[in-house]
Amino acid sequence: MSPNAAPEYVLAVDVGGTKVEAALVDDRGTVLTASRNRAATGAGATSEQLASAVGTVVRATLASAPQSSPLIGVGIGCAGPIQLTVGAVSPLNLPVWREFGLKELVAELVPGLDVRLRMDGLCITLAEHWVGAGLGIDNLMGMVVSTGIGGGLILGGVTVSGPTGNAGHIGHIEVGGFDDPCVCGGIGCIEAIASGPKTVAWARTQGFTGSTGEDLAHAYAAADPPAVAAVARSGRALGQAIASAATLLDLDVVAIGGGFSNVTPDLLDFARAAIAERVQFAYATRVHVVHSALSGDGPLIGAAALIHRGELVP
């Protein structure tokens, strides 16, 4: 875009386990703050309430679109699993949505626009590659560590979605040495160990009296033993999962975002220490684990990148 050209906007939608957000994102990866809208989701919501929440934020964001800059498309990121061929989603944290036609729901609100759907983990990876901590890195995994754990892949400079759209879903890689049951049916999945709610739940079994990730962060900063043990446990599990992914995929960088990734900088240090134990696999231990550079904007920027950076999304 030339300095004097009008920006081109994409309507970005991010659907997660606790909220849905929508905003306009320009072709430089900047979120138009005044266009940003959110509504609650949650495991207790009905399908109709979830659909209404999506409709509410999309309509509110559309109403804020500058008339001088028409929209060029719509990008949707959603917690997985998804079914790419039919535009359906089945987020584990939203149990009433199974094979729900999210793409069709949004498309009906934006007639005539190109609408693209991918997993939220792939979107965050696109965002980091475009304007974040993975800028220009062509072998990159992005991770979201929050209510759940998601991931996405860029390999050889191109996103990898797989035939159903679920490639890179690292949250359900099983980690050795852990037996935490997961809602997916697995045992020891990284999401069941190291997501925010699961880390807090484990800490409470050790005597921690708080109830949120924020409580755990404060307790960790105060050197509360159960909080320290919980964060160390989750960080180690994250590192084991990343080491396995790096061994399989020969990654250069893993960029980690999401609300719980901010519990303490030590979380990633614990992860790095676990990766470093793979002493005979220098190609895997060379992976750089970094924190997202995009704060809370990453999921929306990444959803918009499905259109703005469409050449990376086969």
Both 143 and 288 in a single domain? yes
Clarify whether residues 222 and 210 are in a common domain. Answer: yes
Domain count, the chain: 2
Q: Give the separation between CA 233 and CA 270, rounded to whole angstroms.
A: 8
- The pLDDT, as a whole number, for residue 5 is 74
Same domain, 112 and 139: no
With respect to residue 238, please indicate whether it lies within any of the assigned structural domains.
Answer: yes
Do 242 and 284 lie in one domain? The reply is: yes
pLDDT at 308: 97
* 294 three-state secondary structure: coil
Domain assignment present for 61: yes
The pLDDT of residue 3 is: 58
What is the per-residue pLDDT for 67?
A: 83
pTM, 2 dp:
0.92
**At 52, which CATH number?**
3.30.420.40
Same domain membership, residue 270 and residue 204: yes
Residue 96: its pLDDT value, please?
96
Question: What tokens were used for 271?
Answer: 């992860």
Determine, yes or no, domain membership for 2.
no
In a domain, 130, yes or no: no
What is the block-wise mean pLDDT of the chain (314 residues), using blocks of 10 residues? 76 94 97 96 95 98 89 95 96 94 98 96 96 95 92 96 95 96 95 97 97 97 98 98 96 95 97 95 95 91 97 92
How many Å apart are CA 307 and CA 51, to the nearest integer?
Answer: 23
∠ at Cα 121 (66, 284), nearest 5°?
135
Residues 6+ apart with CB under 8 A from 306: 10, 73, 75, 76, 77, 116, 117, 118, 123, 126, 313
Provide the β-strand partners of residue 23: 12
Answer yes or no: do 278 and 303 share one domain. Answer: no
Domain that holds residue 70: 9-123+297-312
DSSP state of 260: G
Q: Give the tokens for residue 124.
A: 């965050």
Cβ-count burial of 152 within 10 angstroms (0-12 exposed, 13-18 middle, 19+ buried)?
Answer: buried
Tokens of 17: 């386990």
Rounded to an integer, what distance in angstroms lies between the CA atom of residue 128 and that of residue 6?
24
Shared domain for 270 and 306, answered yes or no, is no
pLDDT of residue 136: 87
